[in-house]
Structure 1
């Protein structure tokens, strides 16, 4: 693959040599970076005009479900990777909630081996507990040796403080990190949406924010005790942001992420019982959404996690009570984020979607220089995009974004000597 990318802006935290210029990629590697690149008439390369768009190291998604193995009717590694590639992502962390569960080194190897031929690097997240049952620790050390990027029980967060304590102590041996989606399942067990005025008006059981906030308070205490590393993902309330900000100020090794959906929608958007907006954690109030937005802007929230959770048609097109949680989102992450927070600078976008995740999870640092592998995302905040069913690369279609015009557009993704242009 040989391609010349022209009319390109360089965010200051991505490349300091130029603010505007061109990049030539040959055979999957960066060949030249210059204000203007001249080619001989005999040289045949593809040309992409970025029209003033920006470049970033390839984006990283840390908490998605590709349902493979075991649930390939919802998604598989190939279709999930295609959706990620189209959305600007070159690295995706996959949840262990498959069948069989990713709780041993053979399952880790399965994902790594199958991803070798894909345009996106897939990283298994190893289960903390065997079978995701929350009772005893899995083969965490072996999974780490085999390539697990982190540890988590995914959508079934650890309820046992004792088991989480052991896990946090265990991962210190190799400076590992645990990802927790905070939710005390003994509170609001049957809740369908955020507990509040909207749930009362719609006649739906509520899931209170305290179920999330109590879990965060507990886990912060365990991190303080163990001096280990923990990442909270899917935080959804104003108090959650404040609790995590205070813990970080104290110097605890805690980071957090939020979904683009929680930055854009609120529980008011559920007035029509749209099952595509049935999520866990649920969409909360406008005040909570505004606190999340402020956390993204001021840095208290470290990064964006799409939480791409595909569901089969039959599990979404049904009564709200029985519909399953989650939405797909890899192809709409950037546009949803820019629609919610159009004031975000290209530098902050690169940090939220790439640079910070690489630091937090110990991925190799990518630099823009000649000879380096081209692992890049080209995006344009000044353009708009509309996600259509024809554009959708996922097997699933549980998205509230179809047909909606959103700010911002991913122009292209370059990875593994391949390119996807939108």
Structure 2
């Protein structure tokens, strides 16, 4: 256990009696033992003294892919968790899109075992269907008992409405949540970019907003029929925002997230045919980007995710229509968000998935467990290759202006600093 004193840290935690105060924080054996204006550093303590240091409850990313097992060339669990820690995340939810797919209790236990003794806590998402193929439900109850926190097929919409209905009904027996990526595959077709002026100019096959909205509407109807809890990840259209807002007004238990890149970037970046910007759902127009930011501010969108998806160069540096969808995002998430949202909102939305999943989220107060993210807010800088910590380098944020920096975390008795 690392014994630490955080010097002159501004505490951003509305649930804490020290919210918005600049304090010294003493951490011993994974517990906050003292918070005072000034604390002398005893021998054996590591002192963190950084200009403009801020701390908050530890952030959690609701959608992270690593690759292991099967795609270790993209990212390993060990290095991925180190990247997450240095990017300010005390916890991540791991997507099941490995090889083999995380669709049974043995696979859940494997990734949990690989994540032991790391500063960042890993929570596995189990595949909703066997092999994420959309045909038969996976071993949901067994995976829940093994440690899976929710169930969904990464970037694959369940086209079978009856199977979606059965899943929503079944998981209520053990208080689990279904994650439903929403995109009608027949409407998407061979589309590779947002349907609009830019895709027309570039001669790219478009993906209409309707492809997402039709599936969102269907899934909300199913949820209203079955009851239970549903999370719709990475929404990207104005129609989806309205549908979810209306459903929440009805009292339906629906939550949703948006990806950092859909909040910060728009389809104009595709003009250079750079496949780093090929993501799913696609980057939309500027009016939609602004609408997504507003939906974060008004609470319609519950969570923000980096939607971190490492891909090796063989799958990314190709013609645009052949390249795989996805960007890494852990390293850039916090600083990119500060360019479009107030700092307090960013912190809240990076914490929100814990509330959605009923996970512990200890307040920054004495005698509480220390699960803390460390960051600054005033730095202005440009994200470059030297800032990429992941094995894969497919970042949509290279060359983007950034604000503030994720410094690291204290979690699970360990201090990790991005030096």
Stretches (4+) displaced over 6 A: none
The corresponding residue for 1:237 is 237
Q: C-alpha separation between the residues in 2 aligned to 1:47 and 1:82?
A: 21
Describe the superposition over 1:151-176 as per-residue Cα deviations: whole angstroms up to 9, x where unpaired. Answer: 00111121111001000001111211
Does the 8 A contact of 2:374 with 2:409 survive in 1?
A: yes
Q: Secondary structure at the match of 2:364?
A: coil
> Which residue matches 2:391?
395
Q: Which residue of 1 aligns with 2:376?
A: 380
Name 2:7's counterpart in structure 1: 6
2:150 pairs with 1:154? no
Worse overlay, 254-263 or 47-56: 47-56
Unaligned runs of 5+ in 2: none
Q: Report the Cα distance in structure 2 between the residues aligned to 1:143 and 1:385, rounded to whole angstroms.
A: 43
Residue 27 of structure 1, CA deviation: 3.2
Task: Report if the CA contact (8 A) 2:17-2:365 is conserved.
Answer: no
Whether 1:27 and 2:24 are equivalent positions in the alignment is no
Q: Give the corresponding residue for 2:215.
A: 215
**Maintained 8 Å contact 1:181/1:233:** yes
Partner Cα distance (1:47, 1:387) in 2: 28
Q: 8 Å contact 2:13–2:364 — kept in the other structure?
A: no
| 1:157–1:181 contact (8 Å) kept in structure 2 | yes
- Deviation string 1:291-317 (CA, Å, 9 cap, x unpaired) is 001011111111101110111112111
Could you say what secondary structure the match of 1:90 adopts? strand
* Alpha carbons 1:69, 1:98 under 8 Å: kept: yes
Residue 114 (structure 1) shift: 1.0
Q: CA deviation at 1:239?
A: 1.1
Matched, 1:225 2:225: yes
CA distance in 1, matches of 2:384, 2:91: 24
**Contact 2:188–2:208 (8 Å) recurs in 1:** yes
CA distance in 2, matches of 1:167, 1:3: 45
* Structure 1 residue corresponding to 2:39, chosen from 16, 37, 45: 37
Q: Distance in 2 between matches of 1:22 and 1:383?
A: 22
Distance 1:310 1:260 in 2: 15
Question: CA separation in 1, counterparts of 2:97 and 2:163?
Answer: 18
Q: 1:15: how far off?
A: 1.3
Contact residue 6 and residue 51 of structure 1 kept, 8 A: no
Where 1:271 maps in the other structure, the secondary structure is helix
Q: Displacement, 1:369? A: 2.8
SS in 1 for 2:49: strand
Q: In 2, are the aligned partners of 1:23 and 1:33 still within 8 Å (CA)? A: yes
CA distance in 1, matches of 2:205, 2:336: 28
CA distance in 2, matches of 1:161, 1:283: 27
> Is the partner of 1:10 in helix, strand or coil?
strand
- 1:202-281 matched pairs, under 5 angstroms: 202-281=202-281
The answer to whether the 8 Å contact 2:260/2:307 transfers is no
CA displacement at 1:12 relative to structure 2: 4.6
- Mean alpha-carbon deviation: is it higher for 371-380 or for 201-210? 371-380
Deviation of 1:50 after TM superposition, in Å, equals 4.2
**Secondary structure of 1:171's aligned partner:** helix
Within the alignment, does 1:353 sit opposite 2:350 as a pair? yes
The range that moved more, 304-313 or 53-62, is 53-62
2:158 and 2:224 mapped to 1: Cα distance? 17
For 1:377 and 1:16, how far apart are their aligned partners in 2?
18
2:83/2:389 contact within 8 Å kept: yes
Among 348, 358, 361, the residue aligned to 1:362: 358
Contact persistence 1:378–1:413 (CA under 8 A): yes
* Displacement after TM superposition at 1:149 (Å): 0.6
- Structure 1 segment 11-410 matched on structure 2, within 5 A: 11-17=12-18, 19-40=21-42, 43-341=43-341, 344-346=342-344, 348-354=345-351, 356-410=352-406
Query: Contact 1:8–1:21 (CA<8 Å) still a contact in 2?
Result: yes
Give the superposition deviation at 1:336.
1.0
Instruction: Give the distance between the partners of 2:109 and 2:390, measured in 1 at CA.
Output: 23
Query: Aligned partners of 1:8 and 1:301: how far apart in 2?
Result: 29
The number of residues matched between the two structures is: 416
Q: Distance in 2 between matches of 1:330 and 1:199?
A: 28
Would the aligned equivalents of 2:377 and 2:403 in 1 still touch at CA under 8 Å?
yes
**1:340 aligns to what SS in structure 2?**
coil
TM-score, normalised via structure 2 length? 0.96
Deviates more, 1:49-58 or 1:90-99: 49-58
TM-fit CA distance, 1:86: 1.2
Indicate how the Cα distance of structure 1 residues 27 and 12 shifts in structure 2: closer, same or farther if over 3 A, else same.
closer
- Structure 1 spans left out of the alignment, 5+ residues: none
